[in-house]
Amino acid sequence: MLPLRALLALAVIVLLGCLTEVLPAGLLLGMSNDFGVPPSTIGHLVTGYALTTALAAVPLTAWTARLPRKPVLLALVAGFAVTNLVIAVSPWYWLVLAARVGSGAVTGVMWGLVAVYAMRLAPPRLSGRALAVVMAGTPLGFAVGVPAGTVLGELVGWRWAFVLMGVVAVPLLAWVAAAVPPVAAEPVRVSPRAALRVPGMVPVVLMVLTFSLAHNMFYTYLGPVLARVGREWLLSTALLVFGLAAVMGILAVGGALDRFPRGVLVVCPAAAALAVALVTLSGGDPAHLLLAMALWGLAFGGTPTAFQAVTALVAGRTADSAQSLTIASWNAAVAGGAALGGVVLDHEPAALGATAAAVMVLPLLVALRLHSPALRRVPRRAGQETVERGPGGRS
């Protein structure tokens, strides 16, 4: 049986991290007017966050690897509370940017820690489902949280959206303290370079990098893509369909991961490449576009979960360090995909969809050639760490 109280607490942490990362995109105009800076400058709050997460994931994960996991987890939640409340009250853009850099560093540790934590709390045969429960916070953030935060910002001002984010973290701290059991730190500190030498880890990192690059090339500029065919009014509906389908995707992947991890790695990029191509070929036809967005959401929803689960399976005792590599690769590709997509959009906008679909084929090819003993069987102990035991064998 899954420890749902603990897993749901971890899922809310993931939701909070997701919202913290992307919320400025929905509050861009209000923040721009308040600080007197161009919207593009407010956009740096998102790209700067992603770059900080990418740069901080590896060194901070290595630094915290030997610390007890639960205190680190509580410190991360407190970090989200402090940085969001600083943003809410700050009269200066530079202080907001500094707080975003702090949030990005917190997130760099959070993604890998939460993923490994979830897999260690669950019975080995249910580790994929446990990870799916926790990572459901990501598509829920995109599907529900971001639109709700945007509406709140429009009704009462953008600062109140960040106040809410900071305040929510306080009861979350109490929930985590009460419901999430401690797990042991890595007994031996393993460098990311050593984790990368584990057979199968380089292909996994390449899959993460290329999938995120292709996805963000196209997803970032979906608005301009629809505007080219006179369907910009469909953007909010298309994103809602994408988000809801992503929730279904993560639920579907959760059950399959425990038995067919390599099959999931093949299906997700294949379906995503097809979906991006179908969005491009839809010509803005509402029915075809929304069906393609649903397929894209299904493919995307479970992919981050699959990558983190497979990283833990392949890496074994180096899971914490290996997770930092996948998190750094994903977030570096978020910024890289946005930059590369912008170049294509400026020079050959009609080719953006085809280019993104072609890049999306790369993780599919890597998955087809990936061979690792860890992916041919149900893991006996994902992540190889155990729940800490107190006197008498109790947690």
321 neighbors 192 (Cβ within 8 angstroms): yes
| Distance from C-alpha of 321 to C-alpha of 186, rounded to nearest angstrom | 10
Beta bridge mates, 183: 387
pLDDT at 368 over 50: yes
- Alpha-carbon distance of 309 to 264, in angstroms, equals 11
Is pLDDT above 90 for 133?
Answer: no
| pLDDT at position 386 over 50 | no
Please report the pLDDT score of residue 8 as a whole number: 93
pLDDT confidence band for 257 (50 / 70 / 90): confident
> What does the alpha-carbon distance between residue 306 and residue 299 come to, in Å, rounded to a whole number?
11
CB-CB contact of 137 with 18 (8 Å): yes
Separation CA 24–CA 45 (nearest Å): 7
pLDDT tier at 273, thresholds 50, 70, 90: very high
Q: Which of 165, 176, 124 is nearest to 11 (CA)?
A: 176
Stated pTM of the model: 0.75
Has residue 282 got a pLDDT over 60?
yes
Q: Cα-flanking dihedrals φ and ψ of residue 387, to 5°?
A: -65, 135
pLDDT at 167: 93
Q: Highest mean pLDDT range out of 123-127, 184-188, 260-264, 271-275? A: 271-275
Would you state the pLDDT for residue 374? 58
385: which 2 tokens? 């760490």
What tens digit of pLDDT does each residue of 39-75 get? 667 777 877 888 888 888 878 877 887 788 899 999 9
CB 360 within 8 A of CB 267: no
Residue 388 has pLDDT above 50, yes or no: no
Q: What's the pLDDT at 375?
A: 62
Amino acid 135: pLDDT: 81
**pLDDT value for 125:** 75
Q: What is the pLDDT of residue 148?
A: 73
Please give the mean pLDDT across all residues of the chain: 82
Domain 4-375 class, CATH top level = mainly alpha
Buried b (16+ CB within 10 A) or exposed e, 160-199: ebbbbbbebbeebbebbeeebbbbebbeeebebeebbebe
Comparing 320 with 19, which gets the higher pLDDT?
Answer: 19
Q: What does the pLDDT read at residue 393?
A: 34
Q: Which helix (H) or strand (E) holds 233?
A: none
Q: How far apart are CA 43 and CA 23, in angstroms?
A: 11
Q: Calculate mean pLDDT across residues 268-281.
A: 95
Summarize pLDDT for 210-246 with one digit per residue, the tens.
999 999 888 878 878 888 888 877 877 887 888 889 8
CA dist., res. 113 & res. 292, Å (int):
33
Is there a contact between 109 and 54 (Cβ–Cβ < 8 Å)?
Answer: no
Q: What is the DSSP annotation of 13-41? A: HHHHHHHHHHHHHHTHHHHHHHHT--HHH
Instruction: Please report the pLDDT score of residue 189 as a whole number.
Output: 58
Give the contacts of 130 (CB within 8 A, at least 6 positions apart): 2, 3, 7, 118, 119, 121, 122
Rounded Cα distance between 181 and 247, Å, is 26
Return the higher-pLDDT residue of 366 and 112.
Answer: 366
Single-letter code of the amino acid located at 111: W
Specify burial of residue 54 (Cβ count, 10 A radius: 0-12, 13-18, 19+): buried
What confidence category does residue 178 fall into, taking pLDDT thresholds of 50, 70 and 90?
very high
- pLDDT recorded at residue 146: 65
The confidence band for 25, taking pLDDT boundaries of 50, 70 and 90, is: low
Q: Would you place residue 130 in the very low, low, confident or very high pLDDT band (cuts 50, 70, 90)? A: confident
Residues 146/8, Cβ–Cβ less than 8 Å = no
Strands (E), 29-156: none
